[in-house]
Chains A and B, each alone.
Chain A
Amino acid sequence: MPPVKTRLPAIEGWFTLDEDAPALLGSRCTSCGNFAFPKETFFCRNPECQGKEFAETELSRTGTIWSYTDARYQPPKPYEAADPYTPFAIAAVELSAERMVVMGQVVPGVGVDELTVGSEVELVLDTLYEDDEHEYLVWKWRPRSGATGGGRSDA
């Protein structure tokens, strides 16, 4: 029986490790309220604002697809592809409260045929790559149950 691998984030501090309801960790400017992802740490991106202090904030866990595509060919390093390579879909997702679009891979097994602009997705954690002792986790988008294929917006 192989030992259970330790699950680690592929990057520190970009998302919570709550397996049931993970969230991306963005920042909110304490002066103007501007959201940013990844987190802003020095100076607010809003040119009208002089803010230098930011609160860490969990971004909305659900959103609607702004656009999507897939990666039929293996991306080059530093992407750590499994062997053999399995293509995956990528979505750019609009978060309504934050009014921003965040990209991410779509969970394995969901292809572009199952995605539509405007349909709802939620954030999950999944393995990005692994070595002998660790699984490295990243955020991915998963179609919300019942929303797949039926969520076409009126756009």
Chain B
Amino acid sequence: MPEPKSVAVLGAGMHPWGKWGRNFVEYGLAAALDALHEADLAWTDVQYVAGADTIRNGYPGFIAGATFAQALGWTGARVSSAYAACASGAQAINNARAQILAGLCDVALVVGADTTPKGFFTPVGGDRRDDPDWLRFHLMGATNPTYFALYARRRMELFGATEADFAAVKVKNARHGLENVNARYRKEVTAEEVLESPMVADPLRLLEICATSDGGAALVLTSMEFARRHAGTEGLVTIDSVSTVTPRFPQTIIEMPNFSTDSAATSASIGPTFKQSVALAAYEEAGVGPEDVNVAEVYDLSSALELDWYEDIGLCKEGEAERLLRDGETTLGGRVPVNPSGGLSCFGEAIPAQAIAQVCELAWQLRGRATGRQVEGARVGISANQGLFGHGSSVIVTR
């Protein structure tokens, strides 16, 4: 196995998630300044800015790397912007990483932030009859929770998952996020409260579906050589892989915003599923395996989806996620805590910031700075996420 191609995480920062209703630039700026402070670097030291985009808040040019560069004060730093739905943040991380690994820069700032409207995410406006995202709302009334619920029902049928299992994920994550100052929801909930909350998309209830939030996250990434000079080698946290793989044909699991899967009539679907392949590529690139993982941040768009991820990132075999949960293995204090931050359950989703926030949490966990939610002695962390249009990501962080 070749040595992983690593970059150092010198600083992480967030603006707390919430429904603040202010301009997203402010959240990104606050997160960037926090990350720079943690890295003990100035904005003028940054050579490259990687922004994460969203379309929901306007259009990509409005929410871009340059937006944050201008807000921090033009310095001539080089810039890029990435749009990949929920994985936008990971692609921004990967842009910065590639620049650093190519030797084109030493210090990069990654920023993502969003201000979200209330309620269901909706497609871009207009009469967009060639846009599957527009059409799925128009022709089927299929919202994002529709798709989450299809997966949840499938788990119940195939593996005997129960509504109580899904509620237990929410109860766990609510408890994990209690002390997290950046989380939006910091309140313990009981299984009864979850199961009494209104049904949104059977079998998923209101408290089991992630909200849409305002928030911002940022990372300062540097070359290993710069990091050793600037911060020393003691306790250095590094990103060892960023997976941004796309699905393989035929993709036989229905995905947002599609009406259908690929057909497997002419070529059988063999090998890992898309979500499995996202994590597998991250493991392979980093030279570690699921058995090495101490902490995971996974995309719990719904409580049930968190269980799918346990299997997709290899923490257990298919069909065993409920046992892992029931045995407390994924709870703080267990073998491999999942979503110690509280996850999307406590944050809600600020799309372009979210994949960056996952890596912020892993960096703080590995540094022993995750106050009130620390996974003791964590050395290897993995993030995983998936979004619209065949985008997904997984990042492996080690110390």
Contacts and interface: CB of A to CB of B under 8 A. Distances in A.
Contacts of B120: 73, 75-76
B47 interface: no
Interface in A76-135: 76-81, 88, 90, 92, 97-105, 112, 117-118, 128
Contact of A45 (B153, B154, B249): B249
Place the interface of chain A in its size category: 35 or more
A67 B151 contact: yes
A46 B228 CA distance: 47
Contacts of A92: 150, 254
Interface stretch (B26-34, B48-56, B256-264, B293-301): B256-264
A21 interface: no
Contacts of B142: 71, 75, 90, 103
Contact of B154 (A103, A104, A105, A117): A117
A99 B264 contact: yes
Given A105-B141, A155-B157, A37 B150 contact: no
Nearest to A49: B266
Contacts of B264: 99-100
Given A70-B201, A79-B137, A88-B141, A34 B265 contact: yes
A128 B139 contact: yes
Contacts of A10: 138-139
Contacts of B149: 69-70
B127 to A, nearest CB: 8
Contacts of B158: 155
A48 interface: yes
A3 interface: no
Contacts of B150: 66-69, 90, 92
A36 interface: yes
B221 to A, nearest CB: 33
B134 A78 contact: yes
A81 B141 CA distance: 9
B146 A35 contact: no
A138 interface: yes
A150 interface: no
Given A72-B198, A100-B264, A67 B153 contact: yes
Nearest to A112: B202
Among B129, B158, B254: residue with most chain A CB under 10 A = B254
Given A66-B154, A101-B252, A102-B259, A33 B265 contact: yes
B162 interface: no
A38 B259 contact: yes
Nearest to A70: B202
A142 B143 CA distance: 21
A1 interface: no
Given A80-B138, A100-B262, A100-B265, A71 B143 contact: yes
A80 B199 CA distance: 22
B141 A69 contact: no
Contact of B137 (A73, A76, A100): A76
Interface string A14-53: 0000000000000000001111111000000111100000
Interface in B111-164: 119-120, 122-123, 127, 129, 134-143, 146, 149-154, 157-158
A72 B157 contact: no
Contact of B140 (A37, A72, A101, A104): A104
Contacts of B136: 103
A79 B141 contact: yes
Contacts of B260: 36-38, 100-103
Nearest to B261: A101
A4 B135 CA distance: 27
Given A35-B263, A45-B262, A69 B122 contact: no
B200 interface: yes
Nearest to A31: B266
A103 B149 CA distance: 13
Contacts of A81: 141
B129 A100 contact: no
Interface of B: 119-120, 122-123, 127, 129, 134-143, 146, 149-154, 157-158, 198-204, 249-250, 252, 254, 258-267
6 contacts: A69-B201, A72-B198, A75-B143, A99-B264, A100-B264, A105-B140
Given A46-B267, A99-B264, 13 more contacts: A36-B260, A69-B152, A70-B202, A77-B122, A90-B141, A90-B150, A100-B260, A100-B262, A101-B254, A103-B140, A103-B258, A104-B140, A118-B157
Interface of A: 10-11, 32-38, 45-48, 66-73, 75-81, 88, 90, 92, 97-105, 112, 117-118, 128, 138, 155
Q: Which 5 A-B pairs have the closest CB atoms?
A: A69-B149, A75-B141, A35-B263, A99-B264, A117-B157
